Structure 1
Amino acid sequence: MRTKIIKRLMPIAIMVLGYCQLNAQLANTIDMTEDGQLLGLGTQHIYKSKILDEDRPIIISLPIGYETSNANYPVLYVLDGLGNIKHTVATAELLAESGLISPLIIVGIQSMDRAKDLTPSKAGEGVYGGAGGAGIPQSGGAPLFLKFLEEELIPYVETTYRTHPFRILEGHSFGGLFSTFVLMQSPDLFDAFIIQAPALWWNNEEMIETAKTFYMANFSLNKTVYFGIGGDDGWGMRQELKRYVEVVNKNTPHGFRWKHEEVGDEDHNQARLLLNYHGLRFIFSDLKNTKFTIENFDRTTFLKDEQNLISQYGEMTRRPAMDYVKLYAGLDEKGETTDAIVVLKRATEAYPKYVGLLNNLAKLYEKVNQIQRAISTYEEAIKVSKKYKLGYEEGYQLEIDRLEKN
Structure 2
Amino acid sequence: MCYHGAAQPGNQTVLGHTDSLRSTILKENRKFYVHVPAGAAGQAATQRYPVVYLFDADAQFAAATSMIQYLSTNYNALCPQMIVVGLLHPDRRKDLTPTHVVADPPFWAPGASKTTGGGEPFIAFIEQELMPYIDAHYPTQPRKMLIGHSLGGLAVMQIFVHHTRLFDSYICLDPSMWWDNQALLKETKRALETRRFHGTSLYLGIANTADEGMDVTTVLTDTTMATLHMRSALQLQRYFEHNQQNGLKYRGKYYQDDSHMSVPFIAEYEALRFLFGAERK
Structure 1 counterpart of 2:201, which letter?
T
TM-score w.r.t. length of structure 1: 0.60
1:206, distance to aligned residue in structure 2 (A): 1.0
Asked if 1 retains the 8 angstrom alpha-carbon contact of 2:6 and 2:36, the reply is no
Runs of 4+ in 1 over 4 A off after TM superposition: 232-235
Asked if residue 166 in structure 1 is aligned to residue 158 in structure 2, the reply is no
1:204 to 181, 190, 194: 181
TM-score (norm 2): 0.85
Of 11, 30, 34, 1:56 maps to 30
Between the two proteins, what is the percent identity of the paired residues?
26
Contact in 2 for aligned 1:88/1:273 (Cα 8 Å): yes
Q: How does 1:65-80 map to 2 (within 5 A)?
A: 65-67=39-41, 69-80=45-56
| Structure 1 equivalent of residue 270 of structure 2 | 278
* Contact 1:51–1:148 under 8 Å retained in 2: yes
CA positional deviation for 1:229: 2.1
Unaligned runs of 5+ in 1: 1-28, 290-406
Q: Aligned residue pairs: how many?
A: 258
DSSP-derived class of the 1:48 partner: strand
For the structure 1 residues 193 and 55, does the alpha-carbon distance in structure 2 shift closer, same or farther, using more than 3 Å as the test?
Answer: same
2:202 partner amino acid:
V
8 Å CA contact retained: 1:218, 1:253: no
Structure whose CA Rg is larger: 1
The residue aligned with 1:260 is 252
Q: Residue 122 of structure 1 contacts residue 136 of structure 1 at CA under 8 Å; is this kept in 2?
A: no
Structure 2 unaligned spans of 5+ = 212-226
Aligned-partner residue type, residue 47 of structure 2 = A
Alignment of 1:311-326 (within 5 A): none
Per the alignment, residue 404 of structure 1 pairs with none
Partners in 2 of 1:74 and 1:283 — Cα distance? 13
Q: 1:112 aligns with which of 79, 90, 103?
A: 90
Counterpart CA distance in 1 for 2:82 and 2:108 is 38
Change (3 A) 1:139 1:30: closer
- The answer to whether the 8 Å contact 2:6/2:38 transfers is no
Q: Which amino acid counterpart does residue 82 of structure 2 have in structure 1? A: L
Q: 1:220: Cα distance to partner?
A: 4.2
Q: Is 1:42 matched up with 2:16? A: yes
- Tell me if the contact between 1:222 and 1:254 (Cα under 8 Å) persists in the aligned partners: no
Assess if the C-alpha contact under 8 Å between 1:196 and 1:229 holds in 2. Answer: yes
The aligned runs of 1:7-406 (5 Å cut-off) are 31-34=7-10, 36=11, 38-67=12-41, 69-97=45-73, 98-125=76-103, 127-129=105-107, 136-232=113-209, 235-263=227-255, 265-289=257-281
Cross-structure match for 1:391:
none
Structure 2 residue matching 1:44: 3-state secondary structure: strand
What secondary structure sits across from 1:195 in the alignment? strand
Q: Which structure shows the higher strand fraction? A: 2
Task: Pick the structure with more helix per residue.
Answer: 1
Q: CA deviation at 1:128?
A: 1.5
131 and 76 in structure 1: CA distance in 2 versus 1, 3 angstrom threshold? closer
Q: What CA RMSD, in Å, does the superposition of the two structures yield over aligned residues?
A: 2.3
Q: Distance in 2 between matches of 1:266 and 1:212?
A: 26
After superposition, what is the alpha-carbon deviation per residue over 1:288-318, rounded to whole angstroms, capped at 9, x for unaligned? 32xxxxxxxxxxxxxxxxxxxxxxxxxxxxx
1:172·1:272 contact (CA, 8 Å) conserved in 2? yes
The residue type equivalent to 1:223 in the other structure is T
Q: Which amino acid aligns with 1:114?
A: R
Q: 1:108 to 1:226 in 2, by over 3 A?
A: same
Q: Tell me if the contact between 2:148 and 2:156 (Cα under 8 Å) persists in the aligned partners.
A: yes
Select the structure with the greater relative contact order (CA < 8 A; seq sep ≥ 6): 2
Q: Measure the CA separation in 2 of the matches of 1:176 and 1:47.
A: 24
Does structure 1 retain, via aligned residues, the 8 Å contact 2:196–2:247?
no
Distance 1:115 1:192 in 2: 23
